[in-house]
Amino acid sequence: MKLITFLLLTIAFLFFSFKPHSSFYRYSKTINEHINPKDSTFFRLSKTPLEFSKTKDSMQVIRHFGYSLAYNEECEQAAWIAYSLTKIETSGIIERGDNFSIDPKVLTGSATKDDYLKSGFDRGHLAPAADMKWAEQAMDESFYFSNMSPQLPAFNRGIWKRLEEKMRDWAIIYDSILIVTGPILNSSLTRIGTNKVCVPTHYYKVILDFKREKSKAIGFILPNSSSKDDLRNFAVTVDSVEQLTGIDFYFQLTDSFESQLESKICLECWEW
């Protein structure tokens, strides 16, 4: 009888303590005091994580296991990719994949490998595979073409890689961060392939270390070219990224708190 009781209690504990991987689930308890209660968008989209951005109605928002995105059909790539990265996730052991594939969730069809073939550009990850090594599904889905953008090899394998590595360092240092990343898109960009995939001239990242009143945010804008410059040379305010992209980050927060985070940049507040 004691054994049966013990087993039942163990099963109950595991059931109620299990939590699926979800940025919103992890952060919902800590952001409530800064969420604007009048912002019905947040509560109507109750599964929407804090790192989600306001998206034009014409863009399809897609959720994958490890990240989400807003798909820009005109440029055949994501306008933004959003995900959280935690200290624990950086120690994942899933090996890097290599199965680039069409994103089955893009209703209009994503780019394909033929678009990049002999183009001279890398299939550059927006959400890096190294950030998805905590789960096999997350790793596999990071190779969807909706997560790719044409990047010059020297950029993709150089300063872009250095910035990605810095993000993982910060996830370890600050325990968890929210990342939104993507290309700066417009209709005048050069295009490649049958699907006319836009070749961005610049890329951005926006990072939030959410610690309530001690929260901090920072943006980066990098040209799609080779550079050995210090990453701090490319740091900007989040407001600056919003002005260039037309994207509204952290809209779920109260206006005053959002303005406080986005209008200033404090390089000394981050570990370099």
* Catalytic sites, residue numbers: 125
- Spell out the residues 6+ positions from residue 18 whose beta carbon is closer than 8 angstroms to its own: none
> Is the Cβ–Cβ distance between 199 and 190 less than 8 Å?
yes
Give the span between the Cα atoms of 32 and 28, in whole angstroms: 7
Cα separation, 251 vs 3, in Å, equals: 51
Say how far apart CA 92 and CA 82 lie, in whole Å.
19
Query: What is the CB-side half-sphere exposure of residue 178 using CA atoms within 13 A?
Result: 24
CA distance 38 to 26: 22
Contact 21, 86 (CB under 8 A): no
The structure tokens listed for 196 are 């006319």
Helices (H) and strands (E) in the chain, counts: 9, 11
Residue with tokens 């790539």: 77
Closest CA to 57 of 46, 81, 37, 73: 73
Strand order through the sheet with 68-72: 60-63, 68-72, 77-86, 176-183, 202-209, 216-223, 235-236
